[in-house]
Every structure is written in structure tokens, then in C-alpha cells.
Structure 1
């Protein structure tokens, strides 16, 4: 279903850690420990909008988004789940899935640009990416 020559946008590669590949999408963890913040990127080159995907790909994208969203809700118990595809800075289609709390540094505003990122330490990053990888793969079987 995906392009084997897929290239992740350099900004996403610089800002995130890879969690796993789903049938259509690559799941990333944003390197900001203030928010459980995951990014879903369809592994297709040259795609900037959801409408660039065919119907089957769109259905798979939304299915994977739903599974990721449910997992975030179940694991992190947020007050609100923000799901958005903006693409103003990074044109490659990607969908943010961010667990929000009324106690987080940006609440109730968007997370972008409000507080400097607090990067994960190596142990936190490894633990969270491995846990999410395992749980995502369990839910998609």
C-alpha cells in the first residue's frame, strides 16, 4: 500500500522519533515531553492533502487515525484530544494527534510556538515509543 522509496520530510525527521509503521502510515513521536504528541504520516511521496489520496487510502488513513486516537485517549486520559492536519510549515501530509490537559503549558491555546519544547530523555523516549509501538500493533491485528 505504501511507496518503498518514501522520504519523510526533513523537518519531521528532525523534530520527531519514529514509533512504527502501520499499513499506510508512519507514526512519529514529537520530541516535546510536555504533551503526548504523535504524528501520522502516510508513507506516500508527493502527498500534501487528504484529498490527494484515493478512496481506499483515505479510508485506511482515517482508520489508523481512529486507532491512534483511541490509544492516546486510553493511555493518557487527556481532557481533550487535538487532531489536525495543517501543513503550513511542512507540506508533506501529516496529522497531529495531541493529548491536551487543562494543566498543560499552552492550554487552552494551540501548542505551536507557545512554550519551548522540553525534549525527552533517552529512557523516556525509548519506553514511550516501545510501549506505543506494541499497543498500536496489538490494536491493528
Structure 2
């Protein structure tokens, strides 16, 4: 079975520590993915400490997305069928994004342009908050 590592993937790293790295997904919407540094296949393989830190990171990203982008809804997903490695998707959804209310992997419903605040400022907010609360 093919095992991809983070060096095999194109990415824009937002934050990294000994257990996780966070990258931006190229998309119309704000979309971050939280990956484990170690290639764990299932959440149950993580230690309690690492699992707790994962959910704290997801919580922080969700709160920062809500405060910065004011989306209609936040979507959080973990499939890992195509890439069998623990990772969590955190997506800010808007009523006028191209897929809403469908999942981002679903049928595209329209061709709208979203006018959103600068994403680099958002990335800095996420990084700064994670530096305070995650080791």
C-alpha cells in the first residue's frame, strides 16, 4: 500500500508542532486540514494526550473561522479513505459558496465568487492562537 508523507504533498503549512501540522486546502472556501505527524490510520491509535490536543486544535480553528469569516456553518470531517492517515477537515461554509448546502465533495450548484477577508491574516490569527494554547 502506498504511504504518503507530508513531503509528498503540495501544501501551505499554517502551523506545525511535534504531533500535528495544519495545511490549507486550495478551495473557494476557507478550509484547513489538521494532520498527525505520525502516519496513524485511525483516531483510536492516538494516545489520549494527542487525541485531546487534536480536538483542541480543531476547536481553535473552528472558533477562529467563525470570528474571522462569519460563515453560515462550519463543517468538520474525517474520511481518510483516499489518504489513509488521520486528518480532520475544518471548512467555513457560506450560503452562496458554489456547493452549499452540498458537501464540498458533492455536486457543484452554482458559479459564485466569494468576497472574503484576507486569508493570510486569518492564518496568522490561527498560528498565534495555537502558539498560546497548544504545545
Would the TM-score normalized by the shorter structure come out above 0.5? yes
The RMSD of aligned alpha carbons is 2.4
Partner residue in 1 for 2:119: 128
1:36 aligns with 2:30: yes
| SS of alignment partner, residue 6 of structure 2 | coil
1:8 aligns with 2:6: yes
| SS of alignment partner, residue 105 of structure 1 | coil
Does the Cα contact within 8 Å between 1:27 and 1:41 map onto a contact in 2?
A: yes
In structure 2, list runs of 5 or more residues that go unmatched: 109-117
C-alpha distance in 1 between matches for 2:50 and 2:100: 33
- The offset of 1:49, in angstroms, is 1.5
Does the Cα contact within 8 Å between 1:24 and 1:57 map onto a contact in 2?
A: yes
Off by >4 Å, runs of 4+ in structure 1? none
C-alpha distance in 1 between matches for 2:18 and 2:59: 14
Does the Cα contact within 8 Å between 1:9 and 1:92 map onto a contact in 2?
A: no
How many residues matched? 121
- The offset of 1:69, in angstroms, is 1.0
Q: CA offsets per residue over residues 95-124 of structure 1, 9 Å max, x none?
A: 000000111111111101534xxxxxxxxx
Instruction: Decide which moves more: 77-86 or 104-113.
Output: 104-113
Partner residue in 1 for 2:48: 55
C-alpha distance in 2 between matches for 1:136 and 1:24: 17
1:24 aligns with 2:15: no
C-alpha distance in 2 between matches for 1:137 and 1:35: 19
Does the Cα contact within 8 Å between 1:29 and 1:129 map onto a contact in 2?
A: no
In structure 1, list runs of 5 or more residues that go unmatched: 1-5, 116-126
C-alpha distance in 2 between matches for 1:30 and 1:49: 21
